[in-house]
Protein backbone atom coordinates (compact mmCIF):
# COMPACT_ATOMS: atom_id res chain seq x y z
CA UNK A 1 0.00 0.00 0.00
CA UNK A 2 1.28 3.43 -0.94
CA UNK A 3 1.78 5.93 1.88
CA UNK A 4 -0.39 9.01 1.58
CA UNK A 5 0.97 12.24 3.02
CA UNK A 6 -1.09 15.31 3.77
CA UNK A 7 0.54 18.71 3.57
CA UNK A 8 -0.63 22.17 4.56
CA UNK A 9 0.76 25.65 4.89
CA UNK A 10 0.04 29.24 5.65
CA UNK A 11 0.99 32.06 3.30
CA UNK A 12 4.61 32.01 4.46
CA UNK A 13 4.90 28.28 3.80
CA UNK A 14 3.44 28.23 0.30
CA UNK A 15 6.70 28.18 -1.71
CA UNK A 16 8.28 25.45 0.42
CA UNK A 17 5.08 23.39 0.27
CA UNK A 18 5.12 23.47 -3.52
CA UNK A 19 8.76 22.28 -3.53
CA UNK A 20 7.99 19.49 -1.07
CA UNK A 21 5.00 18.27 -3.07
CA UNK A 22 7.17 17.94 -6.18
CA UNK A 23 9.89 16.15 -4.19
CA UNK A 24 7.45 13.72 -2.54
CA UNK A 25 5.71 12.97 -5.85
CA UNK A 26 9.11 12.21 -7.43
CA UNK A 27 9.76 9.76 -4.56
CA UNK A 28 6.46 8.00 -5.29
CA UNK A 29 4.34 9.34 -2.44
CA UNK A 30 0.70 10.24 -2.92
CA UNK A 31 0.23 13.78 -1.55
CA UNK A 32 -2.99 15.49 -0.50
CA UNK A 33 -2.67 19.28 -0.49
CA UNK A 34 -4.79 20.95 2.18
CA UNK A 35 -3.77 24.49 1.14
CA UNK A 36 -3.20 27.38 1.27
CA UNK A 37 -2.97 27.88 -2.46
CA UNK A 38 -1.00 31.14 -2.65
CA UNK A 39 1.10 33.58 -0.69
CA UNK A 40 -2.00 35.64 0.16
CA UNK A 41 -2.43 36.04 3.92
CA UNK A 42 -4.47 33.30 5.62
CA UNK A 43 -5.22 32.19 9.18
CA UNK A 44 -2.93 29.23 9.81
CA UNK A 45 -5.22 27.47 12.34
CA UNK A 46 -7.81 26.94 9.59
CA UNK A 47 -5.26 25.02 7.52
CA UNK A 48 -3.84 23.15 10.49
CA UNK A 49 -7.36 21.91 11.23
CA UNK A 50 -7.85 20.65 7.67
CA UNK A 51 -4.65 18.60 7.86
CA UNK A 52 -5.42 17.32 11.35
CA UNK A 53 -8.87 16.17 10.24
CA UNK A 54 -7.28 14.39 7.27
CA UNK A 55 -4.88 12.50 9.54
CA UNK A 56 -7.57 11.65 12.09
CA UNK A 57 -10.03 10.41 9.46
CA UNK A 58 -7.39 8.21 7.82
CA UNK A 59 -7.58 10.12 4.54
CA UNK A 60 -3.79 10.50 4.89
CA UNK A 61 -1.27 8.47 6.86
CA UNK A 62 0.99 11.29 8.02
CA UNK A 63 1.11 15.06 7.77
CA UNK A 64 3.48 17.93 7.15
CA UNK A 65 2.57 21.47 8.24
CA UNK A 66 4.55 24.53 7.18
CA UNK A 67 4.45 28.08 8.50
CA UNK A 68 7.03 30.78 9.08
CA UNK A 69 8.42 29.23 12.25
CA UNK A 70 6.58 25.89 12.37
CA UNK A 71 5.55 26.75 15.92
CA UNK A 72 2.06 28.09 15.21
CA UNK A 73 1.07 25.07 13.14
CA UNK A 74 2.46 22.75 15.82
CA UNK A 75 0.49 24.44 18.59
CA UNK A 76 -2.74 24.43 16.58
CA UNK A 77 -2.38 20.78 15.56
CA UNK A 78 -1.50 19.59 19.06
CA UNK A 79 -4.83 20.95 20.31
CA UNK A 80 -6.54 18.19 18.31
CA UNK A 81 -7.06 14.94 20.23
CA UNK A 82 -5.12 12.18 18.48
CA UNK A 83 -2.67 14.46 16.70
CA UNK A 84 0.96 14.30 17.79
CA UNK A 85 2.75 17.08 15.99
CA UNK A 86 6.48 17.58 16.40
CA UNK A 87 8.08 20.85 15.37
CA UNK A 88 11.28 19.62 13.71
CA UNK A 89 14.36 21.44 12.46
CA UNK A 90 16.47 18.62 11.07
CA UNK A 91 16.43 15.03 9.87
CA UNK A 92 17.39 13.59 13.25
CA UNK A 93 14.49 15.33 15.00
CA UNK A 94 12.09 14.16 12.32
CA UNK A 95 13.21 10.54 12.61
CA UNK A 96 13.24 10.52 16.41
CA UNK A 97 9.84 12.21 16.71
CA UNK A 98 8.31 9.36 14.71
CA UNK A 99 10.33 6.54 16.25
CA UNK A 100 10.20 7.62 19.90
CA UNK A 101 7.14 9.85 20.14
CA UNK A 102 4.91 8.35 17.45
CA UNK A 103 4.37 11.76 15.85
CA UNK A 104 1.84 11.62 13.04
CA UNK A 105 2.48 15.19 11.87
CA UNK A 106 5.63 17.25 11.61
CA UNK A 107 5.71 21.01 11.54
CA UNK A 108 8.56 22.80 9.80
CA UNK A 109 9.68 26.37 9.40
CA UNK A 110 9.68 27.98 5.99
CA UNK A 111 12.22 30.47 7.37
CA UNK A 112 14.86 27.72 7.44
CA UNK A 113 14.38 27.04 3.75
CA UNK A 114 17.00 28.47 1.46
CA UNK A 115 14.70 30.07 -1.13
Alpha helices in the chain (DSSP H): 14-26, 44-57, 71-78, 91-101
Instruction: Please give the Cα distance from 35 to 22 (Å, whole number).
Output: 15
Q: What are phi and psi of 75, to 5 degrees?
A: -60, -50
- Would you call 11 a catalytic residue per the annotation? no
Question: Is 85 one of the catalytic residues?
Answer: no
Among candidate residues 28, 81, 82, 100, the one labeled active-site is: 100
CA–chain centroid gap for 50, Å, is 11
Task: Give the integer Cα–Cα distance in Å for 61 and 46.
Answer: 20
Annotated catalytic residue within 67, 73, 83, 105: 67
Nearest to 13 by CA among 80, 94, 71: 71
Which residues are marked as active site? 67, 100
Amino acid sequence: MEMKIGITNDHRGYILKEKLIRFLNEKGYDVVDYGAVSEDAVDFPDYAKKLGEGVLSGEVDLGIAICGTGIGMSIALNKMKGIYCAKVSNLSEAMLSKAHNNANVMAISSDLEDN
